[in-house]
Amino acid sequence: ADNIKNMHYRTIQEVMDDVKLVWENCRMYNGEHHPLSVKTFELEKIFDEKVSKFSPAEVARKAAERKQKKMEKEIDNLRQQINAIKENPKKRLELHEDRPLMPEEQQILRRMINSMDHDTTVKVYNFICANCPKAMVEGEDGEGVELDLEVL
């Protein structure tokens, strides 16, 4: 269940292979005549019937919808954080500490920062310098500074 919730699977075949492994493990560890193993044959038949109804295109569409909803939620979270900084530059930015920003999130954050007016940009710059100075690096051309989003 965790693999499904975390979108670990990229194809329906990966899901099918994992479920098949559950049936096989049950039969191997309990023996084919054990009541649990007998039940796996029934469940396997039902599972195969249900899965056969999903076309690869439908599965891909639903996976894309889930990914889009997740990204929209992350974008909304980033917007709220940027608005909070605009309103109160001293307020700490609450980024996900359990994982780095994904490339798509980094791109969105770049666009949002680049669209800020000068005064807001200065406030964000000062905030980052005060709270995460390692994220500020000298520009490649030796002029200006760049924001290292992976450090942030």
Q: Return the amino acid letter for 5.
A: K
Answer for the pair 112, 124: CB distance below 8 angstroms, yes or no.
no
Distances in Å between the Cα of 80 and the Cα atoms of 74, 83, 86, 109, 112 are 10, 5, 10, 12, 11
pLDDT at 96: 47
H helix or E strand, kind and range, residue 116? none
HSE of 112 in the Cβ direction (CA atoms, 13 Å)?
Answer: 18
Count of helix runs (H) and strand runs (E) in the chain: 6, 2
Under DSSP, is residue 112 helix (H, G, I), strand (E, B) or coil? helix
pLDDT tens string, the chain, 152 residues long: the values are 566 666 677 777 888 888 999 999 999 999 989 999 999 999 999 988 887 777 677 777 788 888 888 888 888 888 888 887 777 765 554 544 556 777 887 888 778 888 888 888 888 888 888 877 787 777 776 677 777 777 76
pTM equals 0.34
